[in-house]
Structure 1
Amino acid sequence: MELRFEIKQLQLKETFSIAYGNYNKREALLVELSYQNYKGYGECVAIDYYKINLSSFILKLKEIQSQIEVHRIIHPKDFFSFLLNLNLHPFLLSALDCAYWDLYGKLENKSFIELNNLPTENLVESSITISVGEIDHQIEKINKSGWNKFKVKCKGLNKGHVEKLLSLDDHIALDSNASFTDEDCSWLQENAEVEKFSYLEQPRPIDHYKILSKNSFANWMADEDCQNIDSLEELVPYYKSINIKLMKCGGLTPALGMIKKARELNYKIMIGCMTESSVGISAGCVLTGLVDFVDLDGANLIANDYATGSTVDNGKIILADKPGLGIHLK
């Protein structure tokens, strides 16, 4: 097996504004695993509020490259056990895990969905993100969009803006990226109208969730508070829903276990993304038959997608009818 990797620049179609800052581009680390002329791909991206440094990932990959390249081809879940012993950051672990699933499926001539016997009927539509901005401009974007579901970003709580969004006859979620206060959260979860929002994502900074109640009108959804399967039990009294992102939890292999555990704990589940190319989005798409919400608009937000695979067309998930994750570079 051969390991290759390179850093790519993802250019956004327009400035993406969230509570953490404004962004015109992202750096992505593309990972390629190849064997017998078959190639599998995975990806992770540099996110400043996660303190991700892709240069350190490159150094780590160079350090472990020989261990990976001498490894024989085994089942992906067994290969993931091998990866766990390499002391990898979850973002990098995810890129390698996804690349190996893609490669293994191509070698076996079976898709990830076939290999794991996953459902593909009646897939939930993805939302598209409306970045922070003037409320009337956000509403104009919603009204002009061909998508049916929207995640509206905000920085802090403006009750007038909330009322305007609630008056729309659309599937709208609210994501403050941890910019709400305890008082904001109390007002929201005691307001019956807030039930109209599909969900309210990560209202408070990490570990400041104890003001929240899952038995309120708000469908609170954990994002940064829910990093992996170990987070789930503690969050039960506070959150109704969780956002699983492959990079946070370490890839497709742990995501499957996380979904199973979340179902046992009666969570609603979303498959989410960051600003990613079709490499990362294709990996997320294969899990959409298992979840209640989907937010996989990342590749739709960039101008220079360098891969093909599963796609999201105005919110509709179109799965690649190819082995592995169906990923190919342009």
Structure 2
Amino acid sequence: MELRFEIRQLQLKETFSIAYGNYNKREALLIELSHQNCKGYGECVAIDYYQINLQSFVLKLKEIQIQVEAQKIIHPKDFFNFLLNLNLHPFLLSALDCAYWDLFGKLENKSFIELNNLSAENLVESSITISVGEIDHQIEKINKSKWNKFKVKCKGLNKDHVEKLLQLPQNIALDSNASFTDEDCIWLQENVEVEKFSYLEQPRPIGNYNILKKENFANWMADEDCQNIDSLEELIPYYKSINIKLMKCGGLTPALEMIKKARELNYKIMIGCMTESSVGISAGSVLTGLVDYADLDGANLISNDYASGNFVKDGKIILSSKPGLGIELK
């Protein structure tokens, strides 16, 4: 097996604004695993509020390259156990895990769906993100869109803006990126109208969720508070829903286990994404038959997508019929 990697730049179609800041581009680390003329791809991206340094990942890949390339072709779950011994950051672990699933499926001539006996029917629709901005401009974007589901970013709570969003006929969720106060959360979860929002994501900074009450009207969804399977038990009293992102939890292999446990604990589940190319979105898309929500708009927000595979069109998840994760570089 051969390992290759390179840093690429993702350009946003327009300035993207969230409570953490504004950005026009993201750096992505593209990983390629190849064997017998088959190539599998994985990806992770530099997210500043996660303190991700892709150069450190490159150094780590150079350090472990001989070990990775010496591995025989084994089942992806066994390969993941090998990766666990290498002390990798979850973002890098995810890129390698996804690349191997893509490679293994191509070698076996089977899709990820077939390899895991998953359904390709009844896939949930993805939302598209509306970045922070003037409320009338946000509503204008929603009304002009062909998508059916929207995640509206906000920086702090403006009750008048909430009232305007609640009047819309579309399926709306809120994501404050941890910018709500305790008082904001109390007002929201005690307001019966807030039930109209499909979910309210990561209202408070990491670890500051004690004010949340899952039995009230707000469908609180944990994002940064829910990093991996170990987070699930502790969050039960506070969150009804969780956002699983492959980069946070370490890839497709742990995501499957996380979904299983989250179901046992009666969580609603979303498959989410960062700003990603179709490499990352192809991986997340294969899990959309197992969850309640999807937020896989990352590749739709960039202007220089360098891959094809599974994709999202106006919110609909379109799975490739090709083996593995169906990823090909353009």
1:104 matched residue in structure 2: 104
2:121 and 2:94 mapped to 1: Cα distance?
A: 26
Query: Where does residue 65 of structure 1 map in the other structure?
Result: 65
Partner of 2:129: 129
Q: Which residue of 2 aligns with 1:90?
A: 90
Correspondences of 1:3-14 after superposition (within 5 Å): 3-14=3-14
Corresponding residue number in structure 2 for 1:152: 152
- Please tell me whether residue 324 in structure 1 is matched to residue 320 in structure 2: no
Q: Deviations 1:184-208 (Å, cap 9, x if unpaired)? A: 0000000000000000000000000
Map 1:157-196 to 2 at 5 A: 157-196=157-196
CA–CA separation in structure 1 for the residues paired with 2:274 and 2:70: 32
Counterpart CA distance in 2 for 1:310 and 1:74 is: 24
Q: Which whole-Å CA distance do the structure 1 matches of 2:88 and 2:128 have between them? A: 31
Cα deviation code 1:127-164 (max 9, x no counterpart)? 00000000000000000000000000000000000000
Counterpart amino acid of 2:134? E
Please name the residue that 2:30 is paired with: 30
Partner of 1:207: 207
How far residue 180 of structure 1 moved from its aligned partner, in angstroms, is 0.2
Q: Secondary structure at the match of 2:187?
A: helix
Aligned to 2:301: 301
The range that moved more, 114-123 or 257-266, is: 114-123
- Partners of 1:48 and 1:311 lie apart in 2 by 26
Q: Which residue of 2 aligns with 1:268?
A: 268
Match of residue 41 from structure 1: 41
SS at match of 1:290: coil
Specify the alignment match of 1:229 in structure 2: 229
Match of 1:289 in 2: 289
Aligned counterparts of 1:51 and 1:225: Cα–Cα separation in 2? 16
Partners of 2:286 and 2:300 in 1: how far apart? 17
* Structure-1-length-normalised TM-score: 1.00
Work out the CA distance in 2 between the residues paired with 1:103 and 1:120: 20
Write out per-residue CA displacement over residues 52-77 of structure 1, whole angstroms, 9 at most, x where no aligned residue.
00000000000000000011000000
Unaligned runs of 5+ in 2: none
- In structure 2, how many angstroms separate the alpha carbons of the residues matched to 1:212 and 1:320? 40
Letter of the 1:70 counterpart = A
- Distance in 1 of aligned mates of 2:18 and 2:47: 12
Structure 1 stretch displaced more, 21-30 or 115-124: 115-124
Shift of 1:169: 0.6
Q: Deviations over 1:258-311 (max 9, x none)?
A: 000000000000000000000000000000000000000000000000000001
Q: Distance in 2 between the 1:267 and 1:42 partners?
A: 28
1:80 maps to what in 2? 80
CA offset at residue 121 of structure 1? 1.1
- Give the secondary-structure state (helix, strand or coil) at the position aligned to 1:137: helix
CA separation in 1, counterparts of 2:260 and 2:217? 26
Q: How many residues align?
A: 330
Q: Distance in 2 between matches of 1:264 and 1:70?
A: 38
Distance 2:321 2:242 in 1: 28
Q: Distance in 2 between matches of 1:244 and 1:125?
A: 16
- Distance in 1, matches of 2:173 and 2:148, equals 12
Q: Could you say what secondary structure the match of 1:289 adopts?
A: coil
Which runs of at least 4 in structure 1 moved beyond 4 Å after TM superposition?
none
- The 1-side partners of 2:2 and 2:72 are apart by 11
TM-score, normalization by structure 2: 1.00
SS where residue 117 of structure 1 aligns? coil
Q: Which residue of 1 aligns with 2:53?
A: 53
Secondary structure, aligned partner of 1:209: coil
Q: Give the letter aligned to residue 24 of structure 2.
A: N
**Structure 1 counterpart of 2:328, one-letter code:** H
> How many Å apart are 1:122 and its aligned residue?
1.4
In the alignment, residue 89 of structure 1 is paired with which amino acid? H
What is the alpha-carbon distance in structure 2 between the residues aligned to residue 190 and residue 220 of structure 1?
A: 12
